[in-house]
Amino acid sequence: MRAVDLWSELRPNRSRLQDRTCQAHNNRGLTGNIIDQVVVSDNCATGIEADIAIADRSYNFVQMIDHHAVLATLFMKPPDNLDAVTEIPADLSKNLHQLCVRYPSKRDKLKYDKYRRKVDKKVEHEGLKHQPVTGEQSFTHCYKALTRIIVDTAKEVFGVAQQWEGEDMKVSSLLIHSLEKRLRHIGGALYLERRNGSTMVSGESRAELESLQQEYQNTVQALSQQLTLCKFILNRRKVLYKELYHARMQEVMSRARIRNQKKMWAALNGGSTKRMVNAGKYIFLPTAVNSHSLPG
């Protein structure tokens, strides 16, 4: 298939100084190499609107590699002499949610031989070894058949990677649980007060309302303040929400400090320091050694 390189087509005056896509770590100079390319079919190159550049901003930095990301924009239209289909199916879930083949670990070395025997058996069964490739049609047939055999056999032998479901990031502790519980009861007490006591709530919410009514009489009415009981309950709930926020932040910082301490102890004992790499513009001190994290 004939193709057009966008670097050659759109940037004929490109230079290894401004448009480098790769620069070795041990390269002390400012120049690099342009080895990452974007190509488009020659059939669609006529009348194409496109642009290509490198992502060289500070926030585009990708750690642990020596390549720049390449940004390419393409606005293509099918040639007038081809009846091309440009409709995109509405349902892409079949292609988007396919599980990838699991990468074999060191313990799975014996499975490589099993995988090889199964692939050879399937290729022999479908007669692909004896089908000559004489043109585009025969090549496409063999290519699709081999792709199907390789992928299906890899899934059978090595399995597939489990889809990441995400972790439960909810932070909790005894104090946080207690504050959340009281907030629920205050919400029930507020609902009961607004309905003039003519609704069903839990016994804890009724007890909370009685306690708030007693506090209301001892503070607001004693000081002759113009404040309703509902407004008083809302203020108490606002204070509890602030306490809940500070309790969660304290728990998050405590967990982060413990996690960083474990990372540093592991590094000091000869473990990997890869997880301690931070690619941000400003790198804070680890909470394990930050003067604000520990007393003194």
Residues 66-107: tens digit of each pLDDT:
777 788 887 766 656 655 555 666 665 665 567 778 888 888
- Predicted pLDDT of residue 294: 44
Residue linked to tokens 């473990």? 271
The arithmetic mean of pLDDT across residues 47-69, rounded, is 70
128 — pLDDT class (breaks 50, 70, 90): confident
SS3 content of the chain, % helix, strand, coil (to 5): 50, 10, 45
Q: How confident is the model at residue 110 (pLDDT cuts 50, 70, 90)?
A: confident
Q: Which two tokens stand for residue 35?
A: 């080895």
Contact by Cβ (8 Å): 52, 10: yes
Q: d(Cα 46, Cα 48) in Å, to the nearest integer?
A: 6
| pLDDT for 284 | 58
Residue pointed to by tokens 């890869």: 274
CA distance 84 to 192: 66
Pick 290 or 237 by higher pLDDT.
237
pLDDT of residue 261: 84
Q: Give this prediction's pTM.
A: 0.41
Look at residues 241, 218, 216, 242 and name the one whose alpha carbon lies nearest to residue 231. Answer: 216
**SS3 (DSSP) at 235:** helix
pLDDT above 70 as % of the chain: 72
CB 48 within 8 A of CB 35: no
Q: What is the mean pLDDT of the chain?
A: 78
